[in-house]
Structure 1
Amino acid sequence: MKLFANLIRILDSTNKTNLKVEALTDYFRQALPNDKVWTIALLSHRRPPRPVNTTLLRLWANELANIPMWLFEESYHIVGDLAETIGLIIPTTENHSDKSLTTFLEEIIALKTKSEADKKAYLHENWLALNYYERFVFTKLITGSFRIGVSQKLMTRALAKAENLDEDVLAYKLMGNWDPNRVSFQELILDEKSSDFISKPYPFYLAYPLEMEIEALGNPADWSAEHKWDGIRSQTIIRDGQIFVWSRGEELVTDKYPEFQAFAKVIPNGTVLDAEILPFPNNEIGTFNDLQTRIGRKTVSAALLKTTPVILKVYDILEWKNEDIRTKPYQERRQILEELFAEIKSPGLPIRLSERVQFSTWDELIEERTRSREMRSEGLMLKKNDSPYLVGRKKGDWWKWKIAPLTIDAVLTYAMRGHGRRSNLFTDYTFALWQNQEDGTRELVTFAKAYSGLTDAEFRQVDDFIKKNTLERFGPVRSVTPQLVFEIGFEGIALSKRHKSGIATRFPRILRWRHDKKIEDANSVEDLKCMIIGNDEIEE
């Protein structure tokens, strides 16, 4: 545990990629095999379930620190992170613990079924046996919200370096549904097992945003384009007569989409498709808001299958006839994919080919991009014809060229403190639009939250305004005198019964502070609904 806590301390103290890779490499060369497995799991978002809720954590930590609860809460709001607050307020003793990371995690997993008295005693004992940073990491593990500034790609690079393995092969090994509590380091990383192959997906290839002028890409004849669909990126695998569906988050979601089982009867074994899962109500592409009714459901009812059907929109093929074809040029993979779809003789299947955009000049592609919202897409994907299917995010061969966001002017009405380096500032904002009332008056109605888009100097100015213009406090939330107007951008919009405004926005963020506008000039909920009408998304 000491070695792991020291690793997290180093990773948390630098933004330099090379230093992070070096620290991870040194750690993997020193750590115990089981601790390596758990570290890989934690850094690839495989965490044990939380055994204690945060209310009890706060209460028990406060008792041990022997300070007034109001002081603990104020400290928490200032620090912005519960584990860090607990690590700071509990006094460090001369006690110490030599338990391994694996031992701690096994105890945390077992803790879930214990009584509250046993949980409290366990936490008090270990909080007092750890130094500040060990206590911070231990509490992070307890909360189940372990996040650190390291991507899985960086972790994979360091592990490959430490174990002298091929990075791409290692990335493939770490894909899939493995359990850190049941697999050894030898089995996970070092052994080769053909039985593991049947359900495993490939690492996803990701595109960079196109921020240059499109003409800078060179000859249009060297490129292919298609629409960028707004759904769930997935890989669908058909091997040995079975089908496996993986999300980009490495979650096996086969049972969430039972309609895809029919693919195994018409698509040959040894096929892996890279595709987007899209909502398809009324035989047309729906909104991401439609798709959310399927996400997170433990069971998919017959009624849900009927009201929110989905399709698989396929744009690449990674394996064909049991052969990994990722090294073949995109143009060649696309030809194989089109031939596969020509052979599928079941028109009722919920599977579609993502059509390529036909263009010979960049101007023609620019014009096609303007049709994106009409097509229910986020913009265009550009892929070089000779590009292989790589691992992770690489610059040069694949670009995503998204359309400009929808925008609206809204009023700041609520604020919360931020996190990390902004934990002492109010930077998480709630915005509202005007709505007409039956008596002829107008009322501000909340519609979106956003916490990015301003400069550090602007955040400090807004924070100063919030502190001087607080109307009410609701725990960490403050209501604010409605006075500041901001331009809010978002990718998509749909009707929603879960929001007070009746509308849900997708990926809202602050575009700019409108110093030139008064709150009377802000937009209304009706203006927002007009955007939906413009996209043909309102249904009576």
Structure 2
Amino acid sequence: MLGSITRDLSEMLTKLQGRDFSLSIFSRHLELMTDKYPDLVDLIPKIRGDGVSSFIMEGEVVAVDQESGELKTFQALSNRARKDVAIGSVKVSVCLFSFDLMYLNGESLLSRPFRERRELLRSLFTEVPNRFTWVKSIDATSQDSETVLEFFKSATDIKCEGIMVKILDNLPNPNLIADVEDTEAADAIEKSARSKTIKKNAPENVPEKKTRRKALLATYEPDKRLDSWLKVKKDYSTTFDTLDLIPVAAWHGQGRKSQWWSPILLAVRNEDSGSLEAVCKCISGFTDTFYKANREFYNPGNENTLGSKPGYVEYEGGNPDVWFEPKEVWEMAFADITLSPVYTAAIGLVSEERGLSLRFPRFLKKREDKGIEEASTNEFLAGLWRKQEEKAPAAGAKGEIEGGEDDDD
């Protein structure tokens, strides 16, 4: 199950107005491979309660210091071998931070509310210090803004990317909320539902008109991105937006840049397909020192370049002079996001015919702390575009450009 993107804590609190929720620190989603984590497999007899015969658990695997429990970076985790790992050869210790239980003793728990799933998880399994534990969490309501802010800060202070916010309980009768159009009346019913005093008939001040508004459920919905789970990251700043992009190709520069790569093609990740979707070309923000080092790193014929366009890169523009092996993540600033007939990033998410591109993209720095699995996604890009459109003046028509580039180095 996936979490919806929110730009900041205030938006999250607005979305979940009146509902109880749980906040969990998270680092990054990883695909668990049995051969890569024999040390986790070895933990199962130690963490499983006597009454547990079968289960499906969800959690986050994080590299940790076994003595102090301090979290390490994603790069540390990527240094582990991927296949046929022997326990005795493991040099990077990990801890599984568990946060959900979807299946237990032959029974699916997907329809159970999150609070119940979490209680089963924590009552039937045993913690092992710095090897298996629960994500650190607090339970709160939208009225606890100061507490939430403190929790968010504590998460980022210990190197986590942010928090996940999850609805704890289902409403006793979600249909009552779904049939209400008036916000105040809906809130009144929702409050009544929480106190378990809903009456058979709606209050007299509820209009008869219906809307598509649906109550958020606390069930587990596989492969869906719903507002019952909200993601709030320190990267999602409302004051200064940046994207973490992957350089995938380049052209020979002109004039004094003829010996270097300029412009450089960058892409976002598509988590569903595994492809890299081109989003812009960039020629801004680079120093001469950077250009020289970049040219040496991506030198045609070495291990960092490819002989032809890889099948996992989606780009409908001209042919670059060199294709890069995806290895780096660059933090990029930009003026705004535009619809584009050339770039494929987020196509189908905001338009069926056009992707999204960045206007005046500018290189800020390499993200040495991030692997390509942590680069920005097409979903995140689409979320930024929607927020931008919400802020745009209603009377102003926005134009389209292929992918704006400025010439300010």
Tell me the TM-score normalised to structure 1 length: 0.38
Between structures 1 and 2, the one with greater helix share: 1
Ranked by relative contact order (alpha carbons within 8 Å, sequence separation 6 or more), the top structure is 2
Larger radius of gyration: 1
